[in-house]
Amino acid sequence: MMKSRMQVDQHLCDALNAIPYYIPTGCVPTHQQLSELEQHIRDLEAEQVLHFHFVVVVISILLSLDKGAETA
């Protein structure tokens, strides 16, 4: 499970240009580290949603500007 969660974390960090949560290689993570990893993933997922909404708003504005330029 931890490996897959680390992959999710890495994927989100790559998409958002963020720093992955660090758990040293070769050690058994503590319960606290696993909890922090899960929180880190939730935070990144929330940030990804915000980025998506921002892009939608920007695209809507650009489309509105383009439509206005066509009618002018």
Q: What is the pLDDT of residue 72?
A: 60
The separation between CA 23 and the C-alpha centre of its own chain, rounded to angstroms, equals 19
Q: What is the pLDDT of residue 3?
A: 84
Residue 14 pLDDT level (bands cut at 50, 70, 90):
very high
pTM: 0.80
Q: Tell me how many domains the chain contains.
A: 1
Q: What is the per-residue pLDDT across 15-70, written as a single tens digit (0 to 9) for each?
A: 999 999 999 888 899 999 999 999 999 999 999 999 999 999 999 999 999 887 77
Q: Which domain holds residue 62?
A: 2-71
Q: Which residues contact 36 (CB under 8 A, 6 or more apart)?
A: 21
